[in-house]
Structure 1
């Protein structure tokens, strides 16, 4: 836990699947001691997630679990058992943050709601992740990133072209979960600052729906102002009707380049030189910004024809000196070997797996991610740290209160 800005902070996590555990994973990256409570027999169901789309993981380690649970300690507790609940309270007495994904009814059932935890530790920060928020008629409903973040918050409809049946699915597993979890980790960090400054603990709430609204916030603000929805362009249509330097271009090997040069007039000559068409610089059709806008269709056709003559790798090499913003359109496997990703340590090695680094760096260094824990591997360790005797630990095991 050494070296991170949250060193010395203890987080008690009672959560499952991707969203809230990913917040705990970020806090662990930042140096917190995150104690993850898992069901005494079954553990976090995320451990059993093997099939993700067309990709399947056999055996351990499992990236589906490690992504959100790196660096934690796992303890197996039966919270329905009175002795198990007392263990939860004992850990809470010695924790700074309680982090949970449980729905209101289950929080009440297991005695882990705000008042329950504050009764044993009045200063504990209570952080909860939900599907649809803590208020309103649907606050007790559960959900996943596909439902609350992707579908309900507007991204799916805004991203799906009108000529596509159904909707475009999220680009990968736990997409909205991970974004929402980072939001929750940031909220907890702010609450820790407030606690240190005022002595007042907070209740921190982040939902998948709220995070989805925030992620699409610019577009939703436009819709609220103009009274109309965002509509995606039809498949195959160039990205901008008024700027040939903002959009996708197909390369000779069937890949794509993404150009986003919002000031077309500023970058036009440089692009023309890089594609070996200097004759276009003085072409009267593209002499000014207004001309480029007026003749966007012709410019797009020229650029499509030229860019289709070389592969993505060839253009990527040639465009290293291009002054305007551009990027190769990469798949998830190509990201693994991206030189800029490597240079900034955006992927880190846990010793078992290569995983994405959480996105905040301190002092220009990525957090050193540690492996995800084996199920209940630190149960005895955590309880002995709390001062329980071996005799008491054995007794709790015998009664089934702990793993």
Structure 2
């Protein structure tokens, strides 16, 4: 996928390509964690049918601002949030609170490989759409449930949200400036990182279950919990606590185990230095014209961690002597990891980001097929970072309009005729 790639979603099924093009996914999830997982599968070629509530759709269709502008530049009520995690999917509206709607979803599940849902624990049982019910009609089905706290344990019935889980897991206790500094206190990460990691872990679990199915012929239930994921990604901070009993604390942009590894002031802003070993530190010193690497207080990383305060103070005095661009020019040629602290616009304008084709353009409809009254067609998203040499991610559908593919899917997957579809629409079961 390249920055100039554009894909038009049509009213007929798109060519199936990609590593997972043989798989069918029924996406009953909404918001971020589940949709992030299914977008990963869709980018790799899976045919993903996204089920949405008629008239409303995924919650994130309304989570704004920011909202899209129409072709005249006027604001709409369509939120940009939705497009971040719903590329390459087909939107089908079904009211699952009705028996006929439940029947449609069960029929789709019969010939699906994977179901992903993020209702509260047990929430789909009353509709006959839980794992036990659907696996009874499709034993090969891989059914992934994404919840805040999992299918077991005292918190299982609770709703879980990324911000809540960041707080409960301890992640916010190690994010932000130290309490002793101005602006100190617990801080959430700038994106819903637990939702995103859960989506990635869910993708891995589904692919593992598919591999197991190759040997057993049977699907299985996957229990993904945001809290489990949040605890897992504490990584070295969690390992340090387990093995020493010491509770990690917030320390801003510094690293608990590596020095110098943080932002430093420059003559015109800031520069990020990520000096991860003693060789890099020696090269920094040689480039900067200092001999700190020969001082026993700073020769090794362990010594620099012990003498962190002094190290950071003298480094800061030095880095103020040059501009950010000058430091980067000086250090990059000596293989000292460094870089600017960009805003998002600067990041997407970076020549390397552009060379990697990370900004994508897609059209929902071919120009001659844009429905009357549709104010949004061209949509920009960020490319998948998965780079496979033989079966790379593909662009087939732009993030869909609500119910854009309802008729197409009901006709091709369930063989319903126009009269049957018209009857369902008249009852409000589909939009």
**Bigger mean CA offset, 19-28 vs 112-121:** 112-121
CA contact (8 A) 2:24 2:112 kept: yes
Query: How far apart, CA to CA, are the structure 2 residues paired with 1:89 and 1:167?
Result: 45
Q: Which runs of 5+ in 2 are unaligned?
A: 1-14, 69-74, 364-377
Which structure: greater helix fraction? 1
**Equivalence for 1:45:** 59
Moved >6 Å (runs of 4+) = none
Distance 1:262 1:401, change over 3 A: same
CA RMSD of aligned residues (A): 2.7
**Equivalence for 2:44:** 30
> How does 1:241-252 map onto structure 2 within 5 Å?
243=259, 245-252=260-267
CA contact (8 A) 2:173 2:186 kept: yes
Equivalent of 1:337, from 349, 366, 386?
349
Q: Which has the higher contact order (CA 8 A, sep 6+)?
A: 2
Q: Structure 1 residue 15: deviation in Å?
A: 1.3
Query: How far apart, CA to CA, are the structure 1 residues paired with 2:256 and 2:57?
Result: 49
Verify: 1:135 aligned to 2:182, yes or no: no
Query: How far apart, CA to CA, are the structure 1 residues paired with 2:206 and 2:302?
Result: 51
**Equivalence for 1:356:** 382
Q: Structure 1 residue 377: deviation in Å?
A: 0.6
**Equivalence for 2:409:** 382
Distance 1:360 1:399, change over 3 A: same
Distance 1:221 1:285, change over 3 A: closer
Q: Structure 1 residue 250: deviation in Å?
A: 1.3
Task: Give aligned pairs, total.
Answer: 391
Verify: 1:397 aligned to 2:412, yes or no: no
Verify: 1:262 aligned to 2:277, yes or no: yes
Query: How far apart, CA to CA, are the structure 2 residues paired with 1:366 and 1:192?
Result: 19
Q: Structure 1 residue 336: deviation in Å?
A: 1.1
Verify: 1:193 aligned to 2:229, yes or no: no
Equivalent of 1:8, from 3, 8, 22?
22
CA contact (8 A) 2:18 2:391 kept: no
> How does 1:241-320 map onto structure 2 within 5 Å?
243=259, 245-263=260-278, 266-275=279-288, 277=289, 279-280=290-291, 288-289=299-300, 293=304, 298-320=310-332
Q: Structure 1 residue 128: deviation in Å?
A: 1.0
**Equivalence for 1:224:** 242
TM-score (normalised: structure 1): 0.88
Secondary structure in structure 1 of the residue aligned to 2:123: helix
Q: Which runs of 5+ in 1 are unaligned?
A: none
CA contact (8 A) 1:240 1:247 kept: no
CA contact (8 A) 2:61 2:78 kept: no
CA contact (8 A) 1:253 1:311 kept: yes
TM-score (normalised: structure 2): 0.83
CA contact (8 A) 2:272 2:339 kept: yes
